[in-house]
């Protein structure tokens, strides 16, 4: 167990690096999921454009009542 005393600082440093790398990956994943959720709520598809073509019938019905 003398290796713990001898290399304790190195092991602790590597553990901290591993921890912070995990935190960066976790936060990056969380931001990616949040962006996907926001785009889903706004109706933005994978192409980055609003999905307005699907609501053509609804737009026609609204225009009929506007007149």
Mean residue pLDDT across the chain: 78
Q: DSSP states of 2-16 as a string?
A: HHHHHHHHHHHHHHH
What's the pLDDT tens digit per position in 7-32? 889 999 999 999 999 999 999 999 99
Between CA 56 and CA 11 the distance in angstroms is 62
């Amino acid at each position: 167990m003398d290796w713990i005393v001898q290399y304790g600082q190195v092991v602790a440093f590597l553990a901290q690096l591993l921890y912070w790398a995990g935190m960066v990956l976790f936060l990056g994943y969380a931001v990616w999921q949040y962006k996907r959720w926001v785009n889903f709520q706004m109706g933005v598809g994978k192409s980055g454009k609003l999905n307005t073509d699907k609501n053509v019938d609804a737009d026609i019905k609204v225009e009929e009542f506007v007149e």
